[in-house]
Amino acid sequence: MDGLKGMSEPFFFQRGRGLTVREIAALTGAETHPQADPDRRITGVSTLDRAAPDELVFLDKVKYAPELAVTSAGACLTRKQFAVHAPGHVSMLYVREPYRAYVEITQQLFPDALRPSSLFGTSGLAPGALIHSTARLEKGVVVDPGVVIGPHAEVGARTIIAAGAVIGPGVRIGRDCAIGANACITNALIGDRVVVHAGCAIGQDGFGYLMSAAMHRKVLQIGRVIIQDDVEIGAGTTIDRGANRDTVIGEGTKIDNQVQIGHNVVIGRHCIIVSQCGISGSVVIGDRAVLAGQVGLADNISIGEGAIIGAQSGIMCDVPPGERWFGYPATRAREYFRGVTKLRELARGAGVAAPDKDDCSDKGAQDIPEQEPG
């Protein structure tokens, strides 16, 4: 980093006027400590160990309580049990779910970070974009340089198409969407308020071949991708179009970076799919299901509504609604952890040093998203 010395520190999300402690309390329903300064102005957020006097922090875990005692933060969202650790200069705000309240305030302080913006500072259509004469763009669409929009494509009002993105023929994109740089979207219908981050490929061929000793004949993929409202898709994710029915992503679902979704997959509403998951063709995932990192799903299985799959699990059969499965091949959580315990007992009996109880053998369970900070 020595080469950066002397350069001005870049801030990619500019601070505005901020919020007072009184305003933060009103927005979150927090109870303020009697010694809190209601007029203190907060303009940013940070962590306990790096915060400045004009920044907000949160505390919701005992192991971080000592950091509160030495923080320079101006205000802290936490629970009353941590009040004894607070120095006098920190305005304490007590809430039941500190991190949830912290996220809410972060969105108020930095609204421009809620979705990607134009990478070129474009307003309207930038020079260098190639838009077919039959494409239809509603009012307020922003198109960066290098974008290609094909014949009969439709883009809804206030949607942003970032540099280098390709929108194929007949694709429909709803209103208030954001399509990231170098994304490629074909054979797809996309709803409103959808965010597609950089480098995604949506609507390409699924992987289908009729195999034989002489040659592998391609199975045509003639379906579509349907992405419903309020979906967010992380960078580098690929979503194959359907073979003989549509690939569907349900409303409100959030997909992390580098996820592979095969043809004919149907994902329900408000699901969480964490990075590097691989979802084979014709899988059906119920509403509010969670797949933690690097989960692999075999083809033609179903994951029930509200089910949770632990990190690096391999699922080869149907998972009933509401259950938690872990391991490879995956089993119900209780069976999986019973097996881990038995292996430890056998290792000790054989004179092999078994891992301590505080090791990461249950990392699969810990990796399930709990709205923790990065």
Q: CA geometry: angle at 150 spanning 145 and 151, to 5°?
A: 140
- The domain tally of the chain equals 1
> What single letter denotes the amino acid at residue 264?
N
Nearest-CA neighbor of 136 among 158, 160, 152, 147? 152
What's the first-to-final CA gap in the chain, in angstroms?
22
Give tens-digit pLDDT for 48-99: 999 999 999 999 999 999 999 999 999 999 999 999 989 999 999 999 999 9
Q: How many CB atoms lie within 10 A of CB 273?
A: 26
CATH code of the domain in which 93 resides: 3.40.1390.10
Residue 185 covered by a domain:
no
Residues whose CB is less than 8 angstroms from the CB of residue 164 and which lie 6 or more positions away in sequence, other chains included: 144, 146, 147, 181, 182
Residue 65 covered by a domain:
yes
Specify the pLDDT at position 299. Answer: 96
Residue 63 covered by a domain:
yes
**pTM for this entry:** 0.86
Cis peptide before 127 (omega within 30 of 0): no
Q: Is the pLDDT of residue 4 over 80?
A: no
Looking at per-residue pLDDT, the higher value among 179 and 332 belongs to 179
Measured distance CA(297)–CA(300) in Å, rounded: 9
Looking at per-residue pLDDT, the higher value among 362 and 311 belongs to 311
Residue 159 covered by a domain:
no
Name the pLDDT band for 258 (thresholds 50, 70, 90).
very high
Give tens-digit pLDDT for 199-209: 999 999 999 99
Domain with 110 in it: 19-114
Specify the pLDDT at position 105. Answer: 97
Residue 14 covered by a domain:
no
Specify the pLDDT at position 359. Answer: 53
Give tens-digit pLDDT for 114-170: 888 888 887 899 999 999 999 999 999 999 999 999 999 999 999 999 999 999 999
Specify the pLDDT at position 371. Answer: 40
Q: How much is the mean pLDDT over the chain? A: 91
Q: Is the pLDDT of residue 292 over 70?
A: yes
Residue 79 covered by a domain:
yes
Measured distance CA(98)–CA(325) in Å, rounded: 29
Active site residues per annotation: 263
